[in-house]
């Protein structure tokens, strides 16, 4: 029996603000392509989905992603804020990944505009520091640029969220990285350390993945930052028995829909029910190319594997990649 899915929601995505550089661990894979679709049409479609969910009292999750960078103009900032409000949240933290480099007065003006638009903090993802981070993020000077924004933001009373990636080659730099970050003014609302996800471009860096031995011997300064929803760091051999407990169940996922100039006319003509059902049909067909989960695990799971992953999804995707290489089959969308 092929792999079944259970669609728990839909994320509407718009490639509105291409990245100025490509991170080697990027989850999206291709971040320099932008859509010609006007944001206003995307926003109108998204509001229609929120209205549909509310009126039908559906137990599904509707989300939006406008990216791949957050280098928005002020009109888009306001629109993304309106969409975030539909989920009962505020849009007040801006992700620094992929934004263009601005300097001097231009950077100060950009910061002032964002703060006036309601942005109260920044999110930074760092892979080591200095040239090591710059190599991971694909841009010379990126570490200095991101930390300069954090510093200027802190001086303006803005807070920050920090995700620090732990790999084989960033581990020796952690003390220096934390010393640098601790010296930046401003409130740290959230600081977490995580291994790489197994997704997008990060699939290529399994040799940088930490092992059980590294995990179990981390200095306390790093280990205590392993928290939140990504704190379950288990090796492949530790995950396998846990995953097999639910092997007969469907893969629970939030579907994604890339909204662009080639499909917007059909989306605007179609009902939300029709769009959701069509997306579900496509996902089911994609996953039916894969063998059942227990077979996938039996063929490709490494019961002696000591490399560490945060999510069961990471391992399933890894095994799907191995199946695709062996059989020539295309991996399903995710």
Helical H segments across 22-73, by residue range: 39-56
Among 27-36, 85-94, 181-190, name the one with the lowest average pLDDT.
Answer: 27-36
pLDDT tens per residue across span 252-291: 999 999 999 999 999 999 999 999 999 999 999 999 999 9
Check residue 31 and give its pLDDT: 55
Q: Has residue 306 got a pLDDT over 70? A: yes
Q: What burial class does residue 295 get, using C-beta atoms within 10 Å of its C-beta: 0-12 exposed, 13-18 middle, 19+ buried? A: middle
pLDDT tens per residue across span 199-239: 999 999 999 999 999 999 999 999 999 988 889 999 999 99
Tokens of 57: 């009292």
Domain assignment present for 324:
no
Q: 59: Cβ–Cβ under 8 A, 6 or more apart, which residues?
A: none
Check residue 2 and give its pLDDT: 81
User: Which range of residues forms the domain containing residue 60?
Assistant: 5-234+250-294
Tokens of 302: 């490494």
Nearest to 268 by CA among 46, 14, 9, 51: 46
What confidence tier does 10 reach under pLDDT thresholds 50, 70, 90?
very high
Q: Has residue 107 got a pLDDT over 90? A: yes
Check residue 299 and give its pLDDT: 97
Domain assignment present for 299:
no
Q: Has residue 98 got a pLDDT over 90? A: yes
Domain assignment present for 304:
no
Nearest to 164 by CA among 150, 65, 82, 155: 150
Mean pLDDT, all residues of the chain: 95
Q: Has residue 251 got a pLDDT over 70? A: yes
Check residue 32 and give its pLDDT: 64
Domain containing residue 84: CATH number: 3.80.30.10
Tokens of 157: 């009373």
What confidence tier does 27 reach under pLDDT thresholds 50, 70, 90?
confident
**Max CA distance (Å), the chain:** 61
Q: 100: Cβ–Cβ under 8 A, 6 or more apart, which residues?
A: 20, 71
Domain assignment present for 172:
yes
Check residue 334 and give its pLDDT: 78
Q: Has residue 243 got a pLDDT over 60? A: yes
Answer for the pair 94, 114: CB distance below 8 angstroms, yes or no: yes
Q: How many domains would you assign to the chain?
A: 1
Domain assignment present for 311:
no
Check residue 229 and give its pLDDT: 81
Domain assignment present for 322:
no
Q: In what order do the strands lie in the sheet with 93-95?
A: 93-95, 121-126, 159-165, 188-194
Q: Has residue 182 got a pLDDT over 80? A: yes
Domain assignment present for 210:
yes
Domain assignment present for 83:
yes
Highest mean pLDDT among 1-15, 21-35, 79-93: 79-93
Check residue 30 and give its pLDDT: 61
């Amino acid at each position: 029996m092929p792999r079944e899915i259970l669609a728990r929601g839909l994320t509407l995505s718009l490639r509105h603000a291409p990245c100025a550089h490509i991170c080697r661990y990027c989850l999206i894979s291709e971040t320099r392509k932008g859509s010609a679709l006007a944001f206003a049409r995307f926003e109108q479609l998204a509001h229609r989905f929120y209205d549909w969910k509310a009126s039908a009292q559906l137990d599904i999750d509707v989300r939006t992603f406008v990216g791949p960078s957050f280098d928005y103009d002020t009109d888009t900032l306001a629109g993304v804020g309106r969409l975030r409000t539909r989920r009962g949240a505020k849009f007040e933290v801006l992700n620094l990944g992929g934004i263009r480099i601005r300097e001097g007065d231009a950077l100060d003006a950009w910061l002032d505009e964002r703060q006036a638009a309601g942005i109260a903090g920044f999110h930074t993802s760092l892979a080591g520091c200095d040239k090591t981070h710059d190599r991971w993020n694909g841009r010379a000077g990126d570490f200095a640029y991101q930390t300069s924004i954090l510093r200027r933001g802190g001086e303006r009373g803005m807070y920050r969220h920090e995700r620090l990636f732990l790999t084989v080659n960033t581990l020796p730099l952690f003390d220096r990285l934390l010393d640098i970050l601790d010296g930046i003014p401003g409130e740290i609302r959230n600081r977490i350390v995580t291994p790489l996800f197994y997704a997008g471009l990060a699939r290529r860096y399994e040799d940088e993945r930490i092992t059980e031995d590294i995990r179990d011997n981390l200095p306390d300064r790093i280990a205590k930052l392993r928290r939140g929803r990504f704190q379950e760091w288990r090796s492949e051999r530790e995950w396998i028995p846990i995953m097999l407990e639910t092997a007969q169940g469907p893969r629970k996922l939030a579907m994604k829909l890339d909204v662009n100039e080639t499909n917007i006319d059909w989306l605007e003509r179609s009902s939300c029910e029709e769009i959701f059902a069509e997306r579900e049909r496509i996902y089911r067909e994609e996953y039916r190319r894969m063998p059942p989960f227990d077979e996938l695990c039996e063929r490709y799971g490494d019961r002696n594997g000591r490399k560490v992953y945060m999510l069961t999804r990471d391992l399933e995707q890894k095994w799907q990649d191995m199946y695709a290489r062996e059989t020539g089959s295309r991996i399903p969308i995710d």
